[in-house]
Amino acid sequence: QSSKHSTLLSIARQINSHLEKSRYDKEEDTKSIYELKEELNQIHQDYPFVPSSLSSDVFGKHLSDALKDRDAAALVTLIKVGNTFFTNSDEHKANLEISNAMKDAVLEMKLYETAIDSSNPLPFPIDAARILYQDEFDGLYYRLKQARTTVHLDKLVKDVDKFSENFPVGFQDINDLRF
């Protein structure tokens, strides 16, 4: 019983070590975090693995960065890590939900951009754009409400014009912002 317990603790330490070092993918000559988790489950089906606070912090930073950078490849990896090791973490729940939506939106936008110059262009992914650029739209609307001088409004108009380059001409959300 005590050797079983020490084996479980050893595997949990290995998982945390990988998570703390952002080793989310399989490396040569080492077991992946998923293989280690499987070992843990084989020894004790209901073993309550708890990620260390450092591994949680490291994961949270990577997830925030991937969301900010709209990095679909990183989000795919991080969502799998999050769904495997951090589902019970209230700290990461919201960002994991956002990540799922963001990943799909980023992929949809990439497909659109790839197809623009092809013989089969795709329609602009309106819903994906709204998800991807929500923060920017919110920021521009906030600045519009706060603008008190023509200098602020002129700067806002320039920023909206620059921002509108991300969208097709006549994109309704940009038109709504302008009027």
User: Could you tell me the mean pLDDT of each successive run of 10 residues in the chain, 179 residues long?
Assistant: 88 96 90 94 89 95 90 87 89 85 86 86 92 91 93 94 91 90
Is 55:16 a contact under the CB 8 Å cutoff?
Answer: yes
Q: How far apart are CA 168 and CA 27, in angstroms?
A: 43
Q: Has this prediction a pTM greater than 0.85?
A: no
Q: How far apart are CA 99 and CA 92, in angstroms?
A: 10
Read off the DSSP letter of residue 22: T
Which pLDDT belongs to residue 29? 87
C-alpha R_g of the chain: 22
Q: Name the 3-class secondary structure at 85.
A: helix
Which pLDDT belongs to residue 127? 93
Q: Name the 3-class secondary structure at 124.
A: coil
Domain limits, the chain: 2-112, 133-178
